[in-house]
Amino acid sequence: MIGKFITFEGPEGAGKTTILELLMKDLQQSGIEAVFTREPGGIHIAEKIREVILNKEHTEMDARTEALLYAAARRQHLVEKVIPAIKNGEIVFCDRFIDSSLAYQGHARGLGIDEVLSINEFAINGFMPDLTFYFSIEPERGLERIASSSEREKNRLDLEGLSFHKKVQEGYEKVINRFQERIVIIDADKPMIEVLDDVKNVLKEHIQM
Ligand SMILES: Nc1ncnc2c1ncn2[C@@H]1O[C@H](COP(=O)(O)OP(=O)(O)OP(=O)(O)O)[C@@H](O)[C@H]1O
Ligand SMILES: Cc1cn([C@H]2C[C@H](O)[C@@H](COP(=O)(O)O)O2)c(=O)[nH]c1=O
């Protein structure tokens, strides 16, 4: 049996992590086993790379270095955690994946979506998500949510200006156009319970729940 790889994408503060946590509880209650993980991170080496990338003091980090570190973390996470789980028939939900690199490094950092796709092709070796939820929200709104959250410590990318986050949104629009067959847009500017229901309604078409 082969599992499924489902990714969640979107700008800062769109609610991806919150909805993934609610979904995890829901699935557990229904007795459905699934793996919940995140990028960059999810396993020891990738969490270490995450610390390097997102450290607020690393302001000197070059954009290509940043793109390569995300791709390296992605590779290790895939081979160590995601692919074994999928081969074992499990459903893997991942908070961010390659589309983040295309939108943030490819478009917002100006490296080029095709160039960043190309270094990622080396990292993922053909392994793409079966389904991707794009949480759509205006960047201003997402940043407001983060600003009013007491739990959330701001990282190096959160601290980029609004113009960067608007470019991230533009980048995602290009990515959505390119990968229309796997990306479903969710209106993330709704109450959490409605966002969760919208995600579950789409999921029902893909997994038994
Ligand atoms: N639908 C919603 N309505 C109002 N507030 C929300 C909603 N979803 C999430 N939030 C709040 O917004 C903040 C950011 O949410 P969350 O961390 O889930 O976003 P995220 O998409 O994972 O962000 P990032 O990618 O920047 O980590 C949290 O304080 C969360 O409680
Ligand atoms: C995978 C990936 C992530 N990013 C950025 C997006 C966010 O600013 C951070 C991750 O923080 P989160 O709270 O876990 O969302 O990293 C990126 O720029 N490129 C990527 O490939």
Question: Mean pLDDT of residues grouped by 10 in the chain (209 residues)?
Answer: 92 97 95 95 98 97 98 98 96 98 98 98 98 98 92 87 97 98 98 98 92
Indicate whether residue 139 lines ligand 1 (CB < 6 A).
Answer: no
Predicted local confidence at residue 150, as pLDDT: 81
Question: Distance from the CA of 100 to the center of ligand 2, in angstroms?
Answer: 6
Predicted local confidence at residue 64, as pLDDT: 98
What tokens does 182 get? 């796997």
| Domains parsed from the chain with CATH numbers | 4-203 (3.40.50.300)
Indicate whether residue 199 lines ligand 1 (CB < 6 A).
Answer: no
> Distance between CA 165 and CA 193 in Å, rounded?
26
Index of the ligand 2 atom closest to the CA of residue 40: 1
Q: Is 81 annotated as a binding residue?
A: no
Predicted local confidence at residue 2, as pLDDT: 80
100, 151, 168: residue to mutate for ligand 2 pocket, most atoms within 8 A of CB: 100
Question: Distance from the CA of 96 to the center of ligand 2, in angstroms?
Answer: 7
Indicate whether residue 125 lines ligand 1 (CB < 6 A).
Answer: no
pTM of the model: 0.98
